[in-house]
Amino acid sequence: MKSLYLKNRLFVILLLIAVGFALSFGFNFLFPIFKVFLYLLLALVLVDVMVLFFQKQTVSVKREMSEQLSLGDENKVKLTVSSSYSIPLEVEVIDELPYQLQLRDNSFDFSLSPTGKRTIFYTVKPHERGVYRFGNINVFVSTILGLVERRYVVESEQEIGVYPSILQMRKHEFQVFNKSSQAQGVKKMRRLGNTNEFEQIKSYVQGDNYKHINWKATSRKNKLMVNQYQDEKSQQIYCIIDKSRSMKMPFENLTLLDYAINSSLVMSNIALRKGDKAGLITFSNKIGAQLKANRNSTQLKRIMEVLFNQKTEFLEANYELLYQSVKRTIRGRSLLLMYLNFESFYSLKRALPILRRLNRSYLIVVIFFENTEISQATEMECENVGDIYLKTFAQKFTNEKKMMVQELRKYGIQSILSKPEELSVNSINKYLELKSRGMI
C-alpha cells in the first residue's frame, strides 16, 4: 500500500489543483492561490528529478543463491540492496523469477537510510526438474516527497538447475550417521547375524562382546584381546525406477516419479556412505538410463545428473524387458530397490511373475505408493448417498493395496507401501533393516 500511495501521490495533487482551478473561475480570489500552489509543486518535482536523476549516486542489488536448487524444497534466495545516495529513499525491489514458479507478486517495499544497505530473504519451491532462468532485478526508488520515481534495472540473468532434492539427501544423511541425532523417522538398527568382516585385534575394553575374545592373542599378550569387526561393504545396491504413465500421478505438486527420484538420490548417498556400491536403472516401455553400481568419488554426482534428466513416459511398463536388462547388467547378489506404482491388483498380477523370477537371483524390495487422498476419504463423514459410495470405494481401494503387500509377502518378496512424503524414510529403514539382518 505504501508503494501504491507513493506512485499515485503526484496524480492526486495534480487532480486537486485541476479541481481548484475549475472552482477558481467562480471565485476569482482563489485563482492566485492555486497558481502559487502549482508553481510550488513544479519546483518540488524539479527538485525530486534533480536529486534522483542528475547525480552520480545509484542503487545496486546482488542476488545470491545455491548453485543448484532442490526439487520440492524451500530454497533460500538472498538479495542485498545498497544505496550510495546521501538521502533516505523509499525502495521497491521486483525480482524477475522463472516462469516455472508461476509467481507474479515477488516484490519488496522498504525504506533505505542514507548510504544504507538492506538484506532481503525469500524462498522458492520448484515443482519440476529442469533449468530455471532468473531475470533482471528491477529497483524503483523515490525520495520522501514521493513525486518522482526512478527505475534501475540490474542485469542479473542467470540459469540455475533444479535437481533431485539435495536438502533431503543431507537431512537424511545427518539422521543416519549422527549418533546423537534424536530425529524421528529413521530407526537405529542393531546388527544381527554374522555377516561382519574381520578388521583387527585390539585390547579389551569394558563393553566389548565376550564372544569376540581372541584366546590365542590373549595368551601371547598376557591380557584380554578381542577381535574387532566391521560391516560388510562393497555390496551392490540398485535403485530401479518405473517411468511409465502410472508414475505421472501428482501428490502435493510433485509426481510419483519425482518422489521416487528424490528417494533414489537419498538411498544412493546412504549406500555410498555405508561403503556399498550404488547403481541405477530406469525403465518404462523401454530401458532408459543404466548406471552400473560403483562407489568411486564421482558416483553420486553421476547418479544426480542421470536423475536430473528423467522424464515420465506415457506407455505401460515392460517388465519382461526389465528382467532381461537386469540379468544382463547386474552380476552377483544385489539389493534391488524397485520404485513402482500398482493402482490395481490386476497390475500387480501382471508384473508378479517377473518379480518372482528376479527375487530368485537378487534380494528385491518392491516399493509402491499409498494414495493418501483416497485414504483420507475412508475417514470422511457421510452426509448423503454419494458420500457413502465414495467412502465404500475408498475403503475397497485401500484394502486392495494391503492385499498387494500380503500377496508379495506370500512369495517371499520384501515390500514397502508408503505415503509419497514418507518414501525416503521408509526406504532407508528397510535398507538398514536388511543390513542388520545380514540379508545383503
CB neighbours of residue 77 within 10 Å: 19
pTM of the complete model beyond 0.85: no
CB atoms within 10 A of CB 421: 13
Roughly how many angstroms between the first and final C-alpha of the chain, as a whole number? Answer: 63
What is residue 389's predicted lDDT score, i.e. its pLDDT? 79
Q: State the Rg of the chain over Cα.
A: 33
Q: Where are the domains of the chain?
A: 59-163, 166-186+232-436, 197-230
pLDDT along the chain (440 residues), means of 10: 46 59 56 68 79 85 93 94 91 93 87 92 93 94 84 92 92 78 53 50 78 83 78 82 91 91 95 93 94 92 94 89 94 92 89 94 93 77 81 83 92 93 92 83
Q: DSSP labels for 24-71?
A: HTT-GGGHHHHHHHHHHHHHHHHHHHHHHHSSS--EEEEEEE-SEEET
DSSP readout, 90-111? Answer: EEEEEE---GGG-----EEEEE
**Per-residue pLDDT, 413:** 94
CB distance 75 to 69 below 8 Å = yes
Q: What fold characterizes domain 59-163? A: Immunoglobulin-like (2.60.40)
Residue 147 CB neighbours (<10 A): 19
The DSSP bridge partners found for residue 149 are 142
What's the pLDDT score for residue 25?
56
Sheet holding 287-294, edge to edge: 287-294, 277-283, 236-242, 334-339, 363-369, 414-418
Res 219: pLDDT: 84
- CA 240 remoteness from chain centre: 20
Which CATH number is 166-186+232-436 given?
A: 3.40.50.410
Helix, coil or strand: residue 382: coil
Quote the CA–CA distance of 357 and 346 in Å, as a whole number: 18
CB 416 within 8 A of CB 366: yes
Cell of 115: 548510504
